[in-house]
Structure 1
């Protein structure tokens, strides 16, 4: 419960009934949870925040994590066989926007997080040369794109945020990482996270959890009243994806 006398509030108090739709909890298929036991520990920790519903989104990166719907659904089945009965989860993916993704479009049905929404990301080093073509091709296939953690792409950081506005004009939705509300990824990323929030460019928020350390840090996020009020509608909009 929020106290009117407190100067700061815990962010996790907003998460009751939330569906975490960007995480790496599925066991053993990317750089997240290594095994079912760890996955169950992460799910149990989420439960302390009132989160018992998940869409799991392992990386799909051709060179590092060549996951397919089959490998993802097999990992989901393994987790579901061991999890508590009150947990609700499905699986999608976090797709790297690169040429290998383009090569999949005609042959493989991409996994979506909800309805026609698909979660995509870019390399943190540089955007794909053919980014506009990739976005157009995915949209032509019926995908509504949610770009994961736009605040983390340093090559988009400029004073007027021109590249962010360009992506928004192309129909991309933006998903903020919860830990970007802190200096976890660096102070520059934290600053950009709040700049995007203040300019009303963030549509959704999710955890991008890989390990217990992330949830322990998430648990301790305290924010000012103004910041909490700015985040409330984004959390609610994120919940509505799965209503």
Structure 2
């Protein structure tokens, strides 16, 4: 889970051929189920649920035509902004698994004051929130207690695997190690945006850090 494999809907994969390259590699690595999570944000990617489901049908057809041993789910990565608040009030969030997991991200400047309230509202509506790549937010560095608090409020944590090989800089890499050491990782994900990311992921899969992360009690969604 957590990748951007729907062509042309956000800053991820832009064409169907590149999507096929990525899906083939994921299948070769033994991945059996892919949950794609395109961006949804008010200012940059105001995708609707219906638009993303339609785009997902193209990828489903691609998987079927090429006989890839993959199943595929369309979810989303929601920026916690006014559009997210509106979609939440409308009970219109794309989730995955029978548990109804929903991936959220915050802005880079500051942690939203409304986040604890949003987490509460999500759970009241039956969603299970996951915070995307907390190792990348500068405002959590040196304040890991904030992550423990959010986790106590019912928010799971998702680590970008490419952080472990410095894809997002040395500070994110150090924070990723801290999250693993403190057991603050519930999901590990690729955050795959383009085919060239596959090289970084290959390095991750061969690293001791990856195996350390996999020793944690990670959450496994249930798919019917």
1:101 aligns with 2:84: yes
Matched pairs, number: 218
RMSD of aligned Cα (Å): 1.7
1:145 aligns with 2:129: yes
Find 2:9's aligned residue among 29, 53, 66: 29
1:135 aligns with 2:125: no
Larger Rg: 1
State the secondary structure of the residue aligned to 1:105.
Answer: helix
Note closer, same or farther for the CA distance 1:52–1:183 as it changes in structure 2 (3 Å cut).
same
CA distance in 2, matches of 1:52, 1:41: 16
Question: Normalising to structure 1: TM-score of the pair?
Answer: 0.84
Q: Is the 8 A contact 1:144 1:172 kept in 2?
A: yes
CA distance in 2, matches of 1:157, 1:119: 21
1:110 CA drift (Å):
1.0
Q: Is the 8 A contact 1:174 1:202 kept in 2?
A: yes
Matches within 5 A, 1:147-186: 147-158=131-142, 161-186=144-169
CA distance in 2, matches of 1:41, 1:228: 23
**Aligned twin of 2:188:** 205
Matches within 5 A, 1:1-243: 21-83=1-63, 84-85=66-67, 86-115=69-98, 116-158=100-142, 161-221=144-204, 222-224=206-208, 227-234=209-216, 237-238=218-219, 240-242=220-222
CA distance in 1, matches of 2:79, 2:199: 27
1:149 CA drift (Å):
0.5
| Per-residue CA distance 1:162-199 (angstroms, 9 max, x = gap) | 21121112111101001011111011110010111101
Question: Normalising to structure 2: TM-score of the pair?
Answer: 0.90
Q: Is the 8 A contact 2:91 2:125 kept in 1?
A: no
Unaligned runs of 5+ in 1: 1-20
Unaligned runs of 5+ in 2: none
